[in-house]
Amino acid sequence: MPDPSLTLAEIEERIAAVRENLTELTEQAAAYSGGAVEELNAQRIADQEAQLDLLTKQRDQLLQRRG
């Protein structure tokens, strides 16, 4: 759920953190194999992608209100 009290700078910081997490998770997924590990990594990546999508939409809405 979006946090309406976040500033643009806070949203941008969170977007950067999520992107960094996605990079790390992708690297981990490439390094490890095994059914349970792969499934867990896939779920973590999906969760981070959903968070990135939510933050991006929240940022876009905030920018539209300003512009």
> Could you give the CA distance from residue 40 to residue 13 in angstroms, rounded to a whole number?
25
Tens-place pLDDT, residues 3-24: 778 999 999 999 999 999 999 9
10 Å CB burial of residue 1 (0-12, 13-18, 19+) is exposed
Tokens 């998770």 found at: 25
- pTM above 0.85? no
> Is residue 3 assigned to a domain?
no
Domain enclosing residue 16, as ranges: 8-65
Looking at residue 48, its pLDDT comes to 97
27 three-state secondary structure: helix
> Could you give the CA distance from residue 17 to residue 36 in angstroms, rounded to a whole number?
25
> Is residue 2 assigned to a domain?
no
Q: How many structural domains are present in the chain?
A: 1
Q: How many CB atoms lie within 10 A of CB 58?
A: 19
Q: What is the mean pLDDT of the chain?
A: 91
> Is residue 20 assigned to a domain?
yes
